[in-house]
Amino acid sequence: MSNETPDVILIISIGTLLFLLLAGFITLLLVLYKQRYKAHQQQLITVQEVYQRELLQSQLEIQNQTLQQVANDLHDNIGQLLTVVIMRLNALEDEVVEPDHQQSVQQTRDLVRTIIADVRTLSKTLDHDTVRRFGLIPSLTLELERIQRIGHINTQFTTLGEPYSLSEQMETVLLRMTQESLNNALKHAKAKNLHIIANFKAEDTFMLAIIDDGRGFNVQEATSRSLNESGAGLSNLYRRAEMLGGICTILSQPDAGTRVEIRVPRS
């Protein structure tokens, strides 16, 4: 009996040791599996993020190319045709003798000249080369001047802090986002005043605000509309801000105007 006790103790010890080793091994396997699972999930998220970014990037490139084409066509075709109209009107002015008719021809010519100037400005603001060559602030100023001229609407541009340049891609995206917000204000808001604020004051964030004093809207309702009824503008604003590593906030209420705020990192 006394001989058997150490054996039993030995067997129990070895058994416990084996059990502990097995438990340790299983725990290690579980930890490894969890780590791999996490790494795999992380990889999936990264792939999805890269895919989304590339998708937006290519959408942006297609949009830029299309707008560039429209800008070129406006400048080359419509601009030149309107110049021909001016030349015809010049010839007509020499032909007509009655002062009343002459005056009508002159008025028509003035009108066509205004259209030529507007087409030129529009073609510049659509052309993404303008942002590349002249920068964001002059492009935004040009856009507001154009709207002020054609839209019977008051516009104001405010710069806060010391302006600096952002990357070319960022400035192009910010211009397109501003154009969408201004377009919305013109299309939906019935606003009397439009105001853009470019705020360079914060150390690491650039902030752009597009404000109208129009009729406002329910943002949540507008962003949760069904496919048929929803527009692409607002969702594009959110996605593009995200693509730039920033955030877009739309503040609006019925009868209280709209404020679109875009914040992007400075670097």
Ligand X SMILES: Nc1ncnc2c1ncn2[C@@H]1O[C@H](COP(=O)(O)OP(=O)(O)OP(=O)(O)O)[C@@H](O)[C@H]1O
For the bound state, the minimum distance from the C-beta of residue 233 to ligand X, rounded and expressed in Å, comes to 2
For the bound state, the minimum distance from the C-beta of residue 121 to ligand X, rounded and expressed in Å, comes to 21
Per CB under 6 A, does 122 bind ligand X?
no
Contacts to ligand X from residues 231-250, by CB under 6 A:
231-234
Question: What's the token pair of residue 181?
Answer: 């917000």
- Collapse the DSSP code of 213 into the 3-class scheme (helix H, G, I; strand E, B; otherwise coil) and give the result: coil
Cβ proximity to Mg ion: between 92 and 186 the closer is 186
Residues 209 and 261: their CA atoms lie apart, in Å, by: 4
The stretch near Mg ion (CB under 5 A) out of 4-12, 48-56, 215-223, 226-234 is: 226-234
Query: In terms of Cα–Cα distance, which of 118, 117, 88, 119 is closest to 105?
Result: 88
For the bound state, the minimum distance from the C-beta of residue 139 to Mg ion, rounded and expressed in Å, comes to 19
Cβ proximity to Mg ion: between 166 and 212 the closer is 212
Residues 155 and 63: their CA atoms lie apart, in Å, by: 26
Query: In terms of Cα–Cα distance, which of 208, 184, 207 is closest to 257?
Result: 184
Cβ proximity to ligand X: between 103 and 235 the closer is 235
State how far Cα 91 lies from the chain centre.
47
For the bound state, the minimum distance from the C-beta of residue 184 to Mg ion, rounded and expressed in Å, comes to 4
The stretch near Mg ion (CB under 5 A) out of 10-18, 73-81, 84-92, 228-236 is: 228-236
* Torsion, Cα of 123, 127, 132, 138 (10° steps): 40
Q: Are 183 and 233 in contact (CB under 8 A)?
A: yes
Query: In terms of Cα–Cα distance, which of 164, 244, 156, 247 is closest to 200?
Result: 164
Contacts to ligand X from residues 170-209, by CB under 6 A:
184-185, 187-189
For the bound state, the minimum distance from the C-beta of residue 56 to ligand X, rounded and expressed in Å, comes to 16
What DSSP character marks residue 191?
-
Per CB under 5 A, does 64 bind Mg ion?
no
Question: What's the token pair of residue 193?
Answer: 């005043």
Question: What's the token pair of residue 42?
Answer: 């992380």
Rg (CA), the chain: 32
Q: In what order do the strands lie in the sheet with 193-199?
A: 154-160, 193-199, 205-212, 258-265, 247-252
Cβ proximity to ligand X: between 123 and 179 the closer is 179
For the bound state, the minimum distance from the C-beta of residue 266 to Mg ion, rounded and expressed in Å, comes to 28
Which residue matches tokens 């830029």? 64
Per CB under 6 A, does 261 bind ligand X?
no
Question: Pattern 179-218, binding to Mg ion, x per CB under 5 A?
Answer: -----x----------------------------------
The residue from 258, 261, 262, 264 that contacts ligand X (CB under 6 A) is 258
Sites of contact with Mg ion (CB under 5 A): 184, 231, 233
Residues that bind ligand X (CB under 6 A): 184-185, 187-189, 212, 214-217, 222, 231-234, 258
